[in-house]
Every structure is written in structure tokens, then in C-alpha cells.
């Protein structure tokens, strides 16, 4: 059976590292897929649990030259706690190496520059004949020996990770960013040592080797700090999880860990406390702040029979509820799982980076060698000048920015979505949403509330002949009569009429006789009177005269309402209209989609007249009416065959096949689990505003990825020729290895911080 596990890997620094880890794992028998997310240093492995296990993964990753963080949970620590602790130690270790690099590298740079600019004079051991000719040996200057002392700890302590990773890569016959850094800095260091010990009168480059390592360490440290912010949304979700719950057992309150709550147990929540798990309120009422789970900014009123979501905050009253979902079944646990899977997935646009990463480092090393040989043999430069060009090529071309361009944007984009109640299944879904052209909306439960309510009660003149008004208004009399008749019905329209009467506190009576007339309505005996409640066909069958009711009936039907005639003792006394009302935000949300240049269509099983009435209310022109549930897939497929990329939005079980068929399926979180499982994007709030927000998020994320890739590629396209000295003959423009190291470090930090800008975007 295929299972999935996410492993935290240490030592990865660039796209080449990510590719090497993936390739190593894919070669293991039983591994179906391996996908590295460089932004969080994790690899997600899909595997056959009967063939391979964690220990196999650990061995393979370590043999490839990397480490793995083992997250075995204890009574006091969760896997996330262990991983955070391990990463904190790793960051502290990098920080210590950076501090050493700054302490030794900065004085080295300042002293070297001061001497080159004539601000500091050489410290000679003694005068010699060589000095009298205007030249001196490198070993005669005590400053050069001081430079060696300052550069050595930077080279072999601060830069130790580069050597370690290079050695492990060489054992696996590969090369990474660390190989380029190690080659570049070591070349400058060893060349300087050779000059110093050979008593040659040449310039030394100890400051170059030290500054290459220090500047890249600065970049890596800032990059690591910035990368930690890309997963802040996920950590915020994890921090929402309550630690304890107040459970009622044997009539007594008990404080227990949330992990011990069992399904079906009764729990108590007081003001200011978090709801521990998902459930249904049994007694009491309150207002709950659900903003951190659903994105809904206003508190939501809850009472008996309403559902509550674990981790939401109870703001006012005290209530008791019955647990329906615990542990990994809760809405929050599912949200965390979806966000983790999305952030660990790979967008199709990443494939280009993968192809480049496979050959990038070997090509750069080859270019550096060609640069040295070209300048030395063809350009007739001396060894030093040719070496400087080659070192600059090695340092500036590190593929860090390329490896971070896509995953950082995906992480921030999916995290931002989660903060707004938009759950994105994977990076591919996020990318596809960017290209959507047609949005198909299911009517019931999506555009409308999905729950019929009484909208109109019309009293006709005949009511006075058969009813005694008493203290009630005519409309209330008609509603009371209709609701009393419907008390024996299980039809949703009947339930809506009964609910409307209860909302008005009308006293209902039990019918003496009740009969459902299929396709027509009902017949009941109420307080000695024969009552008929139903459609026009029922009245015609019973030979009841419509009198002045027909025009009103047609008007209500044209408004998309189900109008039912109420007749008593052969006289039509009134009309009760029931409709599935449009959600307050639907019209504005649809208008926003249309302003974005998207075509919006409505899909429903209702008749054409009712469907058109709803469509007019919300501003939709394209209506697909009288579509049976099993035919929804065919309608989506037909639109796709027209050449359009389609997003389907729905919430019911019968929407699941259509959600799966669409290029992007969007499910409302107020709907069913089946619909959410089939969808690519889930909106935790039950309104359509999230559709435009999700598409906007997709477009902004893809725009960020494209800019990241553009700058990563253009940086190398411009930087490598400059470093190789192609402009040197004409303009004497030379890119020093120190500037190259600074530029390389800046490119990675730029890509990450550019992705973090997504956190500031407004989704409405």
C-alpha cells in the first residue's frame, strides 16, 4: 500500500542538492515518488510501506552526503517541536561560523584595502637589495603573514561545511553549489599561500578567499531567516491547536489533554476558551471567532444544533457540545495536512529549473576552466589575472536563487491562502487556477443558501369567507394553516413553511388527517376544515377555482420561487412562496469574477424559468438548466471541448464528479467531505468571494514565480559574462570575486524576500 512521509533534510544548499536527494531516493526499490521542497529543506516520499521504510530513506540520504532530522515523538515533545529545536541548533551553528568569518574577515579586508590604497604602509622585516629596486618579496611584509593568520580560520572553520559537502558530493560523482564555493575560495587561498611561501613579488588574495566565504555565509544566514518566514502561516495554524479540553464524564468536569477526547463525548466550553475538537452544540449559545480557520472576520452566532470547529475561540456564552471529530479527523488537522501537502508539492513551472539544475554546476566548472585557459593562452594574461576571472565565474554562478525561486513563492502563496480560508491542494492546482477562463457555478448551496425559506405570503380576498381572523393578521392565519397541514410532511418545502411559522411564534395544531399527493402537494384536515396546499395542478384536479390568484402565481414563479396555493373548503385563500434564496455576497462575487475577464456560467437541475430568475438576480447570462446530477460532468466536458479552461464550483456529493472533471475544482467548505476531497481548492467560508480571491492569489503567485525565475536567470546571464571578463578588453570592466560573492548572496536573499511580499497582498 502506498504511503507518504515528509522528511526534514539538512545540508541542502541549491537546486542541484535537491535534485541529488530526489534521484537518490527514486533509485530505492519501493519508492514511487520523491519531491524536495528546498524552501523548507524537506522531501516528501511516496512509497510502498511493505518494501521500504524510514531507515532505508535515512541511509540513502546520508550516503548522498546529507543529514536527516529524526522526529520520534515523546510525551513532552511533538515532531514539530523536535524539528524546530534541531533547526534552531543548525541556525545557531551557522551563526557561529558567520561570526568567526566576520571577526577575522572584516579586519583582513580593511587592512588589505588600506595597504592597496596607500593608507597603511607595508611592515618590512628589514631592508634588502630587492627593496632598493622598488620591489619586495611577499614574505618580507609582515602584513602578509597576518593576512594568512586571519584568513585561515575563515577558510577552514567558517567554510568547513563547503568542504564537507564538496567531499560528499565528489564521492557520489556529483557537484553542487558548495563545490563552486569551495573551488573558488580555495583557489584564491592556495594561490596566495604559494606566492607567500615562494618569496614571489606578487599580490596576495587572502582577503578574496575570506570575503567569498563570509559574504556567502551572510547571504545564507539571511536566506535561512527569510525562509523560516515562508512557513509562518503553517506554524500559526499548528499553534492554534488547543492543548486541553473540559470533558463531562459521569456528570463531572474533567480537564484532559485534547488527544484523549473520544468521539461522542460531551464537552464544556466557557467564554475565552478555544473549542477543543469539532462537534455539535447540545445546549447553550455563543458567538465564535472563526477567523483564523475560515478567514471570516466577524464572530459567528452559534446555538443548539449548530456545528463548531475545533481551535475556534468562544467569545461570549458558555455551551456544551458533543464531539463528532477528534484527532486527525478535525477540520484544523485536515487544513494543516492540506497546507503541508501543498507546500511540499511541485508546480509544473519547476520542471524547467530541474532540467537546468541537472547540468548547471558541471557547465559552470567547465566555463571557469575555459575562462582561465582562454585568458592565459589566448588573451596572453598572466596566471594571476586568468585565475581571478576563473574564480569570479565559479563564485557568481551558484544556482541558489534558481532552486528557491519556485518553492518559496508556493509556500508563501499557499500559506497566505490558508490564512484567508483558501486551502489549495497542491502547487499544480495553484498554477492551473492562473489560466482559468470559464467559472461554472452550481446553483444550490453555492450561489444560493441551499436551504429553502418562505419569501412571500399573499392573502387573497376569499380568506375572509373561511377563516376567523381574530387577533392574527391574514398572512399569519394563512401561514399557520399551511404550517399545521405540513407538520406531517418530510418535504424540504414543508419544513421551510413550518420553520417560518415557528419563527413567528404561531401556535400550530396537529392535522386530524394527512395525505401527500405525489407531484401535486398535500391534503389535510385542520380543525374540521379540508385544506389543500400545492401547485396549480392540484387545484385543477380538485376543481378549485383560482379566482384572482393566477397573475400573482405567475409573477412569483417568474421570480424563481416555488409558489404553493392554499385552499380551504374549496376556496383558494392565499399563496405561500418558498425559495432557495441567493446568498448576500453572490452577486458582488460574480461581478468581481466578470471584471477579472472571466466568463461565469450557472449549472442547475432547476427548470429554465427558475434558473433564469436566479441568474438575473446575480448577473449571470449563461445558464445551464435542467441538468441532472449525472450529466454535470458532460456539461463541464462540453465547455472544455470549446477550448476553455474551466473551474467548477460546488458543494454537494453530486458535484464531486464535475469537480474532478474540471481543470480546477473549487469546493465550498460548508459542503460535503466528498466534494472537498475531489476539489483542487477548498473555500472554508461558504460564499463565492473566495473564488475570486483564490484566482487572484494564483495569478499573483505565478507572477512572483516568473519574476523570481527571471531575476535568477538574468543574474547569471549577465553575471557570468562579466565575471569571465568579456568586457575587460574594451572597457577594462572586471568583476572581482568579492563582488561576485556579494552578488550571489544577494540573489538568493532577493528571491526569498520577493516571495515574502505575497504575505502583504490584499485578497479582499
Active site members: 442
Q: From the centroid of its chain, how far is CA 197? A: 57
Contacts of 257 (CB under 8 A, 6+ apart): 243, 244, 245
Cell numbers linked to 117: 590604497
CB distance 177 to 398 below 8 Å? yes
Type and span of the H or E element at 662 = none
Query: Which class for 501: exposed (0-12), middle (13-18), buried (19 or more C-beta within 10 A)?
Result: buried
Q: How many CB atoms lie within 10 A of CB 199?
A: 12
CB distance 667 to 413 below 8 Å? no
Q: From the centroid of its chain, how far is CA 497? A: 42
CB distance 631 to 727 below 8 Å? no
Cell numbers linked to 88: 534552531
CA distance linking residue 383 with residue 389, whole number of Å: 10
Given the C-alpha cell 475538537, which residue does it identify? 277
CB distance 749 to 218 below 8 Å? no
Length of the chain: 764
Cell numbers linked to 173: 560523482
Query: At 733, phi and psi to the nearest 5?
Result: -95, 115
CA separation, residue 519 to residues 11, 538, 541, 608 (Å): 70, 9, 12, 18
Cell numbers linked to 573: 385563500
Could you report how far apart the first and last alpha carbons of the chain are, in Å?
A: 43
CA distance linking residue 300 with residue 421, whole number of Å: 15
Specify the long-range contacts of residues 731-739, CB closer than 8 Å, at least 24 apart.
734/388, 734/389, 735/392, 735/396, 736/208, 736/388, 736/392, 737/184, 737/188, 737/205, 737/208, 737/211, 737/212, 737/388, 737/391, 737/392, 737/395, 738/109, 738/207, 738/208, 738/211, 738/212, 738/215
Q: Strand, coil or helix: what is 602? A: strand
Query: In sequence order, what DSSP letters do the residues of 192-231 get, joined into one string?
Result: HHHHHHTT------HHHHHHHHHHHHHHHHHHHHHHHHHT
Contacts of 467 (CB under 8 A, 6+ apart): 474, 477, 478, 481, 568, 573
Contacts of 552 (CB under 8 A, 6+ apart): 458, 460, 563, 575
Cell numbers linked to 562: 416555488
CA distance linking residue 354 with residue 361, whole number of Å: 12
Q: Strand locations in 211-333, DSSP E?
A: 244-249, 252-257, 266-269, 278-284, 286-289, 300-302, 307-308, 313-314, 319-325
CA distance linking residue 341 with residue 639, whole number of Å: 30
Type and span of the H or E element at 746 = helix 737-756
Amino acid at each position: 500500500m502506498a504511503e507518504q512521509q515528509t522528511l526534514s533534510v539538512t545540508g541542502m544548499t541549491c537546486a542541484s542538492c535537491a535534485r541529488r536527494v530526489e534521484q537518490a531516493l527514486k533509485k530505492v526499490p519501493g519508492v514511487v515518488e520523491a519531491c524536495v521542497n528546498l524552501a523548507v529543506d524537506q522531501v516528501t516520499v511516496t512509497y510502498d510501506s511493505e518494501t521500504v521504510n524510514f531507515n532505508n530513506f535515512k541511509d540513502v540520504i546520508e550516503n548522498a552526503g546529507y543529514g536527516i532530522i529524526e522526529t520520534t515523538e515523546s510525551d513532552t515533545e511533538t515532531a514539530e517541536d523536535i524539528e524546530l529545536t534541531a533547526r534552531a541548533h543548525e541556525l545557531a551553528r551557522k551563526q557561529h561560523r558567520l561570526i568567526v568569518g566576520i571577526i577575522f574577515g572584516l579586519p583582513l579586508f580593511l587592512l588589505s584595502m588600506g595597504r592597496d590604497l596607500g593608507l597603511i604602509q607595508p611592515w618590512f622585516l628589514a631592508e634588502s637589495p630587492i627593496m632598493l629596486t622598488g620591489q619586495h618579496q611577499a614574505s618580507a611584509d609582515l602584513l602578509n603573514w597576518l593576512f594568512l593568520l586571519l584568513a585561515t580560520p575563515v577558510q577552514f572553520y567558517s567554510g568547513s561545511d563547503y568542504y564537507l559537502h564538496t567531499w560528499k558530493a565528489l564521492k557520489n560523482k556529483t557537484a553542487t553549489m558548495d563545490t563552486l564555493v569551495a573551488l573558488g575560495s580555495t583557489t584564491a587561498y592556495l594561490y596566495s599561500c604559494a606566492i607567500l611561501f615562494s618569496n614571489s613579488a606578487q599580490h596576495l588574495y587572502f582577503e578574496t578567499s575570506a570575503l567569498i566565504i563570509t559574504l556567502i555565509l551572510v547571504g545564507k544566514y539571511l536566506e535561512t531567516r527569510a525562509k523560516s518566514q515562508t512557513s509562518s502561516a503553517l506554524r500559526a495554524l499548528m499553534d492554534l491547536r488547543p492543548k486541553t479540553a473540559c470533558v463531562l464524564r459521569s456528570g463531572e468536569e474533567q480537564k484532559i489533554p485534547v488527544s484523549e477526547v473520544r468521539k461522542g463525548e460531551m464537552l464544556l466550553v466557557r467564554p475565552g476558551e478555544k473549542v477543543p475538537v469539532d462537534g455539535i452544540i447540545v445546549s447553550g449559545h455563543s458567538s465564535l471567532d472563526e477567523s483564523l480557520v475560515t478567514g471570516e472576520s466577524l464572530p459567528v452566532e452559534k446555538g443548539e444544533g449548530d456545528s463548531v470547529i475545533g481551535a475556534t475561540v468562544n467569545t461570549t456564552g458558555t455551551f456544551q457540545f458533543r464531539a463528532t471529530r477528534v484527532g486527525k479527523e478535525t477540520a484544523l488537522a485536515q487544513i494543516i495536512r492540506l497546507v503541508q501537502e501543498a507546500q511540499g508539492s511541485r508546480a509544473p513551472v519547476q520542471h524547467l529549473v530541474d532540467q537546468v539544475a541537472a547540468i548547471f554546476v558541471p557547465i559552470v566548472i567547465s566555463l571557469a576552466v575555459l575562462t582561465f585557459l582562454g585568458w592565459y593562452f589566448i588573451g596572453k594574461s598572466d596566471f594571476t589575472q586568468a585565475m581571478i576571472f576563473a574564480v569570479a565565474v565559479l563564485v557568481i554562478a551558484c544556482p541558489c536563487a534558481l532552486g528557491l525561486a519556485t518553492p518559496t513563492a508556493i509556500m508563501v502563496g499557499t500559506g497566505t491562502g490558508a490564512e484567508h480560508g483558501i486551502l489549495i491542494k497542491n502547487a499544480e492546482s495553484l498554477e492551473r487556477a492562473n489560466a482559468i477562463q470559464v467559472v461554472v457555478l452550481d446553483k444550490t448551496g453555492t450561489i444560493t443558501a441551499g436551504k429553502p425559506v418562505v419569501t412571500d405570503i399573499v392573502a387573497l380576498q376569499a380568506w375572509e369567507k373561511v377563516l376567523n381572523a381574530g387577533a392574527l393578521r391574514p398572512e399569519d392565519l394563512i401561514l399557520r394553516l399551511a404550517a399545521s397541514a405540513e407538520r406531517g410532511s418530510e418535504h424540504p418545502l414543508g419544513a421551510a413553511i413550518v420553520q417560518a411559522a415557528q419563527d413567528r411564534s404561531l401556535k400550530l395544531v396537529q392535522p386530524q388527517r394527512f395525505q401527500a399527493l405525489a407531484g401535486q402537494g398535500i391534503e389535510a384536515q385542520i380543525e374540521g376544515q379540508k385544506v389543500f396546499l400545492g401547485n396549480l395542478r392540484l387545484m385543477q384536479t380538485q376543481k378549485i377555482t383560482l379566482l384572482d390568484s393566477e397573475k400573482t402565481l405567475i409573477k412569483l414563479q417568474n421570480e424563481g420561487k416555488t409558489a404553493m396555493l392554499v385552499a380551504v373548503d374549496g376556496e383558494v385563500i392565499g399563496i405561500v412562496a418558498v425559495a432557495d434564496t441567493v446568498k448576500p455576497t453572490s452577486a458582488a462575487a460574480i461581478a468581481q469574477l466578470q471584471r477579472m475577464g472571466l466568463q461565469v456560467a450557472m449549472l442547475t437541475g432547476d427548470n429554465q424559468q427558475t434558473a433564469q430568475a436566479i441568474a438575473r438576480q446575480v448577473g449571470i447570462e449563461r445558464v445551464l438548466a435542467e441538468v441532472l446530477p449525472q450529466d454535470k460532468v458532460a456539461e463541464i466536458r462540453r465547455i472544455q471541448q470549446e477550448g476553455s479552461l474551466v473551474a467548477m464550483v460546488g458543494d454537494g456529493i453530486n458535484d464531486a464528479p464535475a469537480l474532478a472533471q474540471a481543470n480546477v475544482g473549487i469546493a465550498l467548505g460548508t459542503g460535503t467531505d466528498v466534494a472537498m476531497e475531489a476539489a483542487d481548492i477548498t473555500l472554508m467560508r461558504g460564499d463565492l468571494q473566495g473564488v475570486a480571491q483564490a484566482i487572484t492569489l494564483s495569478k499573483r503567485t505565478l507572477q512572483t514565480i516568473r519574476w523570481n525565475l527571471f531575476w535568477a536567470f538574468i543574474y547569471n546571464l549577465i553575471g557570468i559574462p562579466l565575471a569571465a571578463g568579456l568586457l575587460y578588453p574594451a572597457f577594462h570592466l572586471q568583476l572581482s570575486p568579492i563582488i561576485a560573492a556579494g552578488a550571489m548572496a544577494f540573489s538568493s536573499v532577493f528571491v526569498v524576500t520577493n516571495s515574502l511580499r505575497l504575505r502583504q497582498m490584499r485578497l479582499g
